[in-house]
Structure 1
Amino acid sequence: MAKGDFYSETGDVHGVSRSSVCRIIHNVVTSINKRLHNIRFPRTNEDILHTKVMFQRSCGLPNCLGAVDGTLVPIIAPKQNEEAFVSRKGCHALNVQAVADADMRFTDVVCRWPGASHDAMVFDNCALKEHLEATNIGHLLGDSGYPLKPFLMTPYLHPGSPAEERFNKAHKRGRVVVERSFGVLKARFRCLSKSGGCLPFAPEKSANIILCCFKLHNLCLERGLPLPDISSDNDDSQTPGEFIHECGRGGIQRRNELTQLFSR
């Protein structure tokens, strides 16, 4: 997973067959996913407060619980519903949604949607959206590909005042953490990056490997392992496309309240 090597190459290095490599990798990945539970969205008052404080220190925006974005992980063309997995970039992929905190730890991951799915649709159908909507405990930061909601702050597309421009700059400082987290993840686990080719598995097995890499990323941060160099070829993120959102009054009002903090 770190190199994205072909199974035959890995098998030759260790003196085992290609089929053994395949079986061993999936056994280990399944075992890690069953035993390692370190992708946790803040739920306790202490964790929520800590997350908000760290984000406010980094970007100046209060009440923020994370930054959300989607990234593409290339996979081999599946045998069923092949066209649904063709992403905006023309490759077969899974569109993986993740939330990162200010320390680049992933606190929520959804890796079951085909590459043609839009980021906004993925978020609209995730359990985290329902949780934030029901509890009103804070908001996430997302790019302009997401709808503006009381629990999901997006930037102004056409800022019309200095305060709105300053809000956008603060928003960008906060949201960039999820992009950096994706970069570190794919630099550490090349099997998720286009530089490593693609995952040669069905979507279900690919999702299992992707989730394992996210968990190991968090484990590396917890153990203090050095961060890898992030190169430009790790940019497999979705780009905000043409998408019409209905912005309710609640989202507009919440963003206006935050913008007032930058009016002076």
Structure 2
Amino acid sequence: MCIFNLHICCSRPRRNAQGYNYAAQLCFMKDECFASCVGVSRSTFEDLMTRISEVTRDTSARRSQEICLRIRLLMTIIYLTSKKVYKDLHNLFGYCEANICRLVCRTINDINLLSTNAIKWPISPESTADEFYEVHQFPGVLGAIDAMHLVSRAPEKMHDEYRNSRGKYTIILLAICDAQKKFTYVSVGYPGTFTDQKCLESTDLGSNLDNIPNDYFPLDKYHLIGSENFQLRDGLMVPFKAHEVNNDQNLDFNERLLKTQSITPSTFVEMRSRFQTLNKLEMSIERVVEFTTACCILHNVCLDNNDHWAGPLITNEDATSLNHPEPEIVAAPASALAKRARLVDQMCQALDS
């Protein structure tokens, strides 16, 4: 069926026989070999084909003269999931490197059209919180937030702003994950000198976190959770600072929160292990934003198809954020302090019952 579809989607299949033949070779492979060569399962790939075809059906001009989506998507995913460069793709597909670059970038844009449906805020706060509670019995969680630094080349402007505390040029991805390790919110493009808190404050979500309508984010019952790199707010619970951990209850609160919040750093590790291009993005800031967003979308589509990463994981040191600058000390709102105290009491009562 794959080969038949390949003929249909390529009105001029012999325009580049090498690219056509390699795509056909992949289609004939067993599922395990396909996943090994492409980096995603066959079901994930076919799902992507369907989704992208639907959103680009009315927007692509001169379809009869375009390289078919199947070849473009194969080319793009292989580029994202491997250490292959455009020269390697030229050897596989036969197109010149300039054309490959253009086709990959175009396909990345097509993938990003899926963002609205692929990365979604939880529909049911209650069921989302229940799933998180099953992890480490931390109540009321709608999402775990964290940030990741992506090493990139030096930007043309504002060099110092993008050089982090390790002296590397980085761009920051801020993300929220659910208990199934799916992204429910992503925002990428912040300079490497930004703290996690500053990244959050730069988003619409962060600036409105304590004023979200109850039907969307009921603050009396629910919240996000984050590490000590974020500031305590009604809508964002963070650990007690070291000098505040003066009893077993506060210590237990911290341990449960951080174990639950670790879902997002773990998701970063898995995403970077599958999409290896994220480990060294030799491209402009604009392209980093586009490629990183596409990888987040692809990660979610993989999970939709039970396509979990089973390969080797890169080390935590390489996958987590690079040395965070100390966040600015700001007094937490009294309402947030009171909410955290109630959570401590609630967790203690649950242990005693």
Same fold (TM over 0.5): yes
Report the equivalent of 1:172.
Answer: 258
Structure of greater relative contact order (alpha carbons < 8 Å, 6+ residues apart)? 1
- 1:116 corresponds to which of 193, 205, 209: 193
Report the equivalent of 1:183.
Answer: 269
Counterpart Cα distance in 1 of 2:158 and 2:151: 16
- 1:142 corresponds to which of 226, 229, 245: 226
Counterpart Cα distance in 2 of 1:226 and 1:244: 38
Report the equivalent of 2:86.
Answer: 7
Q: Whose radius of gyration is greater, 1 or 2?
A: 2
The 8 Å contact of residues 165 and 324 in structure 2, kept in 1 or not, is answered as no
The 8 Å contact of residues 191 and 199 in structure 1, kept in 2 or not, is answered as yes
Report the equivalent of 1:27.
Answer: 106
Counterpart Cα distance in 2 of 1:97 and 1:35: 19
- 3-state SS in 2 of match to 1:241: coil
Amino acid of the structure 1 residue aligned with 2:274: R
Shift of 1:10: 2.3
TM-score, normalised to structure 1, is 0.92
Counterpart Cα distance in 2 of 1:24 and 1:116: 33
Mapped pair 1:227 → 2:313: no
Bigger share in helix: 2
Report the equivalent of 1:100.
Answer: 177
Q: After the TM superposition, which residues 145-224 of structure 1 pair with which residues of structure 2 at under 5 Å, given as runs?
A: 145-158=229-242, 159-193=245-279, 198-224=280-306
The 8 Å contact of residues 72 and 93 in structure 1, kept in 2 or not, is answered as yes
Q: Which string of whole-angstrom CA distances, capped at 9 and with x for unpartnered residues, describes residues 92-115 of structure 1?
A: 111110000100000000002111
Amino acid of the structure 2 residue aligned with 1:251: A
Counterpart Cα distance in 2 of 1:260 and 1:103: 27
Gaps of 5+ in 1: none
Q: Which string of whole-angstrom CA distances, capped at 9 and with x for unpartnered residues, describes residues 72-106 of structure 1?
A: 11111111112211122321111110000100000
Gaps of 5+ in 2: 1-79
- 2:125 corresponds to which of 48, 68, 71: 48
Which has the larger displacement, 5-14 or 71-80? 5-14
- 3-state SS in 1 of match to 2:286: helix
Residues 240/94 of structure 1: CA separation in 2 closer, same or farther (3 Å cut): closer
- 3-state SS in 2 of match to 1:107: strand
- 3-state SS in 2 of match to 1:134: coil
Amino acid of the structure 2 residue aligned with 1:111: V
The 8 Å contact of residues 143 and 240 in structure 1, kept in 2 or not, is answered as no
Counterpart Cα distance in 2 of 1:149 and 1:255: 9
Report the equivalent of 2:118.
Answer: 38
Aligned-residue identity in percent:
21
Mapped pair 1:60 → 2:155: no
Residues 162/236 of structure 1: CA separation in 2 closer, same or farther (3 Å cut): closer
Shift of 1:239: 4.0
The 8 Å contact of residues 144 and 240 in structure 1, kept in 2 or not, is answered as no
Report the equivalent of 1:259.
Answer: 344
Shift of 1:261: 2.4
Amino acid of the structure 2 residue aligned with 1:244: E
TM-score, normalised to structure 2, is 0.69
Query: Runs of 4 or more off by more than 4 Å in structure 1?
Result: none
